[in-house]
Amino acid sequence: MKAQKTYKIRCFQQIDSTNTYAMKNLDSLCDKEVITAGIQTAGKGRLNREWVSDGQDNVYLSVVLKPCDSIHKNLPLANLTQYMSVIVCKVVEKYRVSASIKWPNDVLVNGKKIAGILSQASIQGNRLKGLVLGIGVNLNLTREAINKIDQPATALNLEIGRSVNKQPLIEELLDSFFENYELFLKTGFSLIERDYITRSDFLGKEITVNSLDKISTGVAKGFTQDGALVLVGEDSQEKIITMGDVTCS
Ligand code: BT5
């Protein structure tokens, strides 16, 4: 007998953005409710960038999380995107491709972006009302659609030479995510540290990190216990970076 799911799914054929919907309706949505869409007309990346959401058979979903009343203090919410990036890698790897992570949470195959994660929080006073974790994975895209993307990108069908069945992949993704979610809330980055590091191809390389108003260059040394990036600059000083976009020099 199949185990009962700990999450429930609300499906839309078309929506502007699953994250926008979840954030707007956060009050009425439950903890562990998932919004999925066949197509997004205004898919969002971080910092108001666009997430190209063409084509029916790709993953566009948002997970609503309300760990607010949890007894655990100091929840590792900022690391949930890193936890999800490891899950996405493992799911994609089942199709015999090797996936890597570009800090903090881009998933790449053959150096090209295949998935992105967007986390948004709603805070009222000092209370966290909820968190929306949005995941986009390119499963079935044409080369034409890929070429519209302004950085090297790919889709699973283009990597394995056949189309990919979306529903079982979504189920696998969500089952894996929720399998260790509670444990992750207790342990944080240490739970995924090894899986994360082995997939971080850029470690030991010269990189540039663009974080809002600052650009930092140096060699990527590793991660702190909290999943922040440790960069060693020309002056041999270690710099801890908590947010930004990485490019390899
Ligand atoms: C992300 O932002 O990578 C987060 C993407 C999250 C998308 C999901 S889909 C379901 C949910 N609902 C939403 O509206 N969003 C979430 P960021 O790191 O800022 O990367 C955005 C950049 O990735 C863009 O500026 C492009 O360069 C590139 N990009 C856009 N669409 C892409 C795609 N389909 N595949 C690969 N790269 C893409």
The confidence score (pLDDT) of residue 211 equals 87
Q: What is the pLDDT of residues 190-235, one digit of tens each?
A: 999 999 999 999 999 999 999 888 899 999 999 999 999 999 999 9
CA pair distance 25, 62, nearest whole angstrom: 12
CB 101 within 8 A of CB 117: no
- Asked if the model's pLDDT at residue 71 lies above 70, the reply is no
DSSP state of 108: E
pLDDT band at 32 (very low <50, low <70, confident <90, very high): very high
Selection from 105, 111, 92 nearest residue 156 by Cα: 92
CB 77 within 8 A of CB 132: no
Domains along the chain with CATH numbers? 8-198 (3.30.930.10), 206-248 (2.30.30.100)
Q: What is the pLDDT of residues 114-152, one digit of tens each?
A: 999 999 999 888 788 999 999 999 999 999 999 999 999
Task: Give phi and psi for 242, each to the nearest 5.
Answer: -105, -20
pTM: 0.95
DSSP 195-243: HHHHT-TTTTSEEEEEETTEEEEEEEEEE-TTS-EEEE-TTS-EEEE-S
CA of 42 to the centre of ligand 1 (A): 11
Selection from 71, 25, 17, 72 nearest residue 49 by Cα: 17
CA of 49 to the centre of ligand 1 (A): 7
- From 10, 51, 117, 210, the mutation candidate for ligand 1 (largest count of ligand atoms within 8 A of CB) is 51
Q: Whose CA is nearest to atom 33 of ligand 1?
A: 52
The confidence score (pLDDT) of residue 2 equals 62
Q: How many Cβ atoms from other residues are within 10 Å of residue 179's Cβ?
A: 12
- Asked if the model's pLDDT at residue 83 lies above 60, the reply is yes
Q: What is the mean pLDDT of the chain?
A: 93
The confidence score (pLDDT) of residue 73 equals 60
Contacts of 239 (CB under 8 A, 6+ apart): 216, 218, 230, 231, 232, 233
